[in-house]
Structure 1
Amino acid sequence: MMSEKSPIEMMEIVAGGFGDLLERVVFVGGATTPLYYEDVAATRIRPTTDVDCVVEIASRGQYNIFEDELRRIKFKNDMKQGAPLCRWIYEDITVDVMPINEQILGFSNRWYPEGIRNATIASLPSGRGISILSLPYFVATKLEAFKNRGGGDFRMSHDIEDIVIVLDSLFDFNRMHSAPNSVTQYLQEEFKIIINDDQFIESVSGYIGYSQTSTGRAMRVVDFMKEYSLKK
């Protein structure tokens, strides 16, 4: 169910709810997308159903302890049928709290461990700071999530949509060039694949929207991805 609150409002509430645990979590996923925007006025915000966070925990025992701490601060396990083990409810907001170790719950994202080590601080409107992935890792986790969900139609993917609207919002692409070689090489390889897919090119125009400037903006995003994939 889509929340009536904006992603920023949801993160404000969840960040406040974490209390002393806030410094241990890194916010990831679609809710964080607006925090990467530069041209905020020209960029739409995609509604989202939940807030995703990752925490650096090495064992199931440590995760059990962390779960107890979440319950202490009034986070409740989501007991709905089909809800994943990482899902919590806080003040009617769905919150997924995922350990970076895939062995604990059986799922993760290959870029979470490295992304956490290279996290950055973003300020919410309240002035509260939260940890988020740096932009290259955000894009990498979105590409990996798209692949983990089976790939499929670029035109129907929120992961691809988030990548496109963030890149479109940037005044320049400098932040994409500040990344370790590992994630840079991954992005280059993935960009090389998708920019040669006509369906992806079509999706870029669709996500940016149709206006007098949209064709140029879509070309700008695709041209950047081409240049990035070829950089030494």
Structure 2
Amino acid sequence: MSTRRNWTRSRLRRPPTRTTYHRPCNPRSMASTLLYIRHMVCVKCILVVREQLVELGLVPLRVELGEVELRDDATTIDWARLRECLEAQGFEILDQLSPQQRLVAQIKEFIAHLLVSNPAALRSGHFSRQLSQQLGRRFAYLSDVFSATEGLCLEQYVIRQRVAAARRLLREGTLPVGRVARELGYSNLGHLSRQFQRETGTSPSEYRREQHLAITGSHVDGEQ
């Protein structure tokens, strides 16, 4: 009996068997390369850039509007080939930018993205909230950096981009002016007209009429 008890105690005192797990290497803990790329304005742009990177044998950890993080070390990248491939798709790598300039580039890319995908989000209340969430910074800080870098307040830049888009639609298309306002996310035609008048000195309807006369007049001159 005593022998059995001692044997049992010895088994109980034996340290438990340990299983060793090997943690996978976290690629973000390794050296990576951050790129800032101009003219990325939509989800399709993200897909195209990612595809180009993979074709070049690079490993993208993150591809967002205007910003790419690669697992590859900068010294191993064929920069000339990378630039050539991206420029062939209409993109451009931004070089030697200060942190403030990079932030401004990201702001501009996000505005261009909203103009294409969700113009209504450019209304002042929606835009400030979305921009802050997108870049992870307070809107007041983003606005101050933009103004100091560009010499133009962020609100005015957004207005100019929306008016430029309206001019393009009025010049190239046949949509009614009211429809143009809705396409660009304006709450009403009057809002577009006021901003358009301030930026161009003319109303949207007058601008369209002037553009039409300029085109028809050039056609008549050409026929003569």
Q: Which protein is richer in strand relative to its size?
A: 1
- Using the size of structure 1 for normalisation, the TM-score is 0.34
Structure number with greater CO (CA < 8 Å, separation at least 6) is 1
Q: Which protein is richer in helix relative to its size?
A: 2
Which structure's CA Rg is the greater one? 2
- Using the size of structure 2 for normalisation, the TM-score is 0.35
